[in-house]
Amino acid sequence: MMESAKRVAEKKDWIKGASGDWEIVIGMEVHAQVLARSKLFSGASAEFGGEPNDHVSLVDAAMPGMLPVINSFCVEQAVRTGLGLKAQINRRSVFDRKNYFYPDLPQGYQISQYKQPVVGEGQVHVDVEGRAVEVGIERLHLEQDAGKSLHDQHPNMSFVDLNRSGCALMEIVSKPDMRSAEEAKAYVTKLRQIMRYLGTCDGNMEQGSLRADINVSVRRPGAEFGTRCEIKNVNSIRFMGQAIDYEARRQIGILEDGGSIAQETRLFDARKGETRSMRSKEEAHDYRYFPDPDLLPLELEENWIAGIKAALPELPDEKIARFMKDYGLTAYDAQVLSAERASADFFEQVARGRDGKTAANWVINELFGRLNKEGKGVDTTPVSAAQLGEIVDLIAGGTISGKIAKDLFEIVWTEGGSPAAIVEARGLKQVTDTGAIEKAVMEIIAANPDKVEQVKVKPTMLGWFVGQVMKSTGGKANPQAVSDLLKVKLGF
C-alpha cells in the first residue's frame, strides 16, 4: 500500500541508532463497534455486558439454515463515519466470507468486506503539538465481530461467550502515513473524537468498542518502506505509544545487527511493556475470501447518501475553526473546548451574548479545572451553564470583582442557587461607592507613613497600597477605582 504523500518525519522525530538515524512508519487498522441496539445481521441485542450468551440469536450461533439480514441502521452509521472521514462512499459494496476456524466463530467464517468496501479513500486532519498532519484513510468496511473464549474460568475447560458474536464493526484502515508514536496516538484520539461526535461508536477502549492493530516498520529517512510487524491487543492510547516505541527499537536493533525483519503478528504485553511474536503474518489467500451467497451486494442511493450528509452534525475541525473565528479563541482553547461535543455545547451556552474569551477562561480554568479535580464531566457539573453565565455577567457589569467571582463560583459549586441572589444576600457586591473607597484609602495612608515616603521614590510600591485597600474592603472594592484614587491621594 502506498502512503498518501511522500513524507519524511522531522529530524526531531528520528530515532538515533548506533549507525545513524531511523524513521518509524506506522499504519493502523482500527476496529470500532457501531453504536447500535442490535447486531449487524440479527436482531439480538448489541449491548455490552450481560450474562454470557444472553444476547445470542440463532443467526449469531450459526444454527443450520439461519440467514443473515442486513441491519440498515449499521450501514447508515458506516456511511456517516465515512462522511466524517471526508471519504468516498461507494454506491456498491460486497460482503465476503473470510474463512477461518476458531471456537468463538461458530459460522467458520466472518462476514466482512474485502475487495469492495462500503467506504473508500478519505482523510483525517490531526494536530500534533501544534503541527498539522494529514493521515490518509485507505478504506472503511463493515464486518461482524467474533465471540469471546474464556480460558481462566476452569482449570481444564474453556468456555465461549457469543454475546459479541455478530456485533457490527467498522474496520478503518489508515495509509502508512504516521511517523511517530505521538502522531499515531493523536490519530486514534482524533478518530475516536470524530466517531463520538457522530455518535457512531462510543469509543470505549476498556470495553473493547475501539481496538487498534498497529503496523510498524522502520527505515532510513527518505528510503523505501521496510518490512512491517502488526501489533495486536493494544487497548489504551498510552499503551499504543509504548508498543510503537518498543517495537521500533526492537526492529532497529535487529537491522543494525545485520538481521532482517520477519513480517509477523505480535502481541503487546502491557505488564512488561514489550511486544512478542504471536504468529507469522497470514496472507489474504489463506482466508479463501469469496462473496457471501446469502447476501446481496449493498447498493446505496445517491439521494440517501446526500440526505445523510446534509444531516451530519458539526464536526471537531469545523467547530474549532468557528470557535476561533466567532469567539476570538486561541487554537489551543478552541481544541480544549471541542474535545467532546458536550463540553463544546456547554461553552457555547455560556458564551452566547457574552465575551467569548472571558467565557472560555471561566469554562476551561475554573469549571474544567474543578471538574477534573473531582473526576466529574460536564454532564454531571454542579454549576450549570446558566449559572456560570450569570457569574460572567456579574463581573462584566462591574457588580463583583474577579476575586470575589472565584469565591462566588465556590459557593455556587457547593450550595447551588442563583449567583446574583447570592451576591445580594451575602453582600459580595463590589464597592463602587467612592466615599467608602476613599475612607479605606485614607486609613491605609494614615497608618503607613513610612511606606508613603517610599512610594514617592519607588512608584511600583503602589501595588502594595492597592493590595492593602483590597484587603481592608474584603476584596469588594473595584481595583481600578482604588488605584486611581491612590494616585491622586499620593500625589502621583
Residue numbers at the binding site for ligand ADP (CB under 6 A): 1, 25-29, 173-176, 215-217, 225, 228
Minimal distance, residue 278 CB to ligand ADP, in Å: 15
Minimal distance, residue 175 CB to ligand ADP, in Å: 5
Question: What distances in angstroms separate CA 91 from CA 138, 190, 232, 477, 487, one per listed residue?
Answer: 17, 26, 32, 67, 75
Minimal distance, residue 192 CB to ligand ADP, in Å: 17
- A 10 A CB-CB count for 292 gives 19
| CB-nearer residue toward ligand ADP: 214 or 445 | 214
Residue 376, φ and ψ in degrees, nearest 5: -105, 165
Q: Dihedral through CA 203, CA 376, CA 323, CA 127, nearest 10?
A: -50
Minimal distance, residue 81 CB to ligand ADP, in Å: 17
| CB-nearer residue toward ligand ADP: 117 or 147 | 117
365-397 in b/e form (b: 16+ CB < 10 A) is ebbbebbeeeeeebeebebebebbbbbbbbbee
DSSP assignments along 332-346, one per residue: HHHHHHHSSHHHHHH
| CB-nearer residue toward ligand ADP: 244 or 469 | 244
Based on DSSP, count helices (H) and strands (E) in the chain, helices before strands: 16, 16
CA distance linking residue 244 with residue 216, whole number of Å: 7
| CB-nearer residue toward ligand ADP: 214 or 385 | 214
Minimal distance, residue 24 CB to ligand ADP, in Å: 8
Chain-centroid distance of CA 443 in Å reads: 55
| CB-nearer residue toward ligand ADP: 280 or 454 | 280
Instruction: Find, among 195, 160, 176, 173, the residue nearest to 112 by Cα.
Output: 173
Minimal distance, residue 241 CB to ligand ADP, in Å: 16
Q: Which residues pair with 149 in a beta bridge?
A: 160
| CB-nearer residue toward ligand ADP: 265 or 349 | 265
What type of residue is 462?
A: L
| Cβ-proximal residue to ligand ADP, closest one | 27
User: What stretches of 294-364 adopt beta strand conformation (E)?
Assistant: 298-299
3-state SS assignment for residue 170:
strand
CA distance linking residue 61 with residue 74, whole number of Å: 20
| CB-nearer residue toward ligand ADP: 30 or 485 | 30
Minimal distance, residue 239 CB to ligand ADP, in Å: 18
Minimal distance, residue 210 CB to ligand ADP, in Å: 16
3-state SS assignment for residue 196:
helix
| CB-nearer residue toward ligand ADP: 135 or 437 | 135
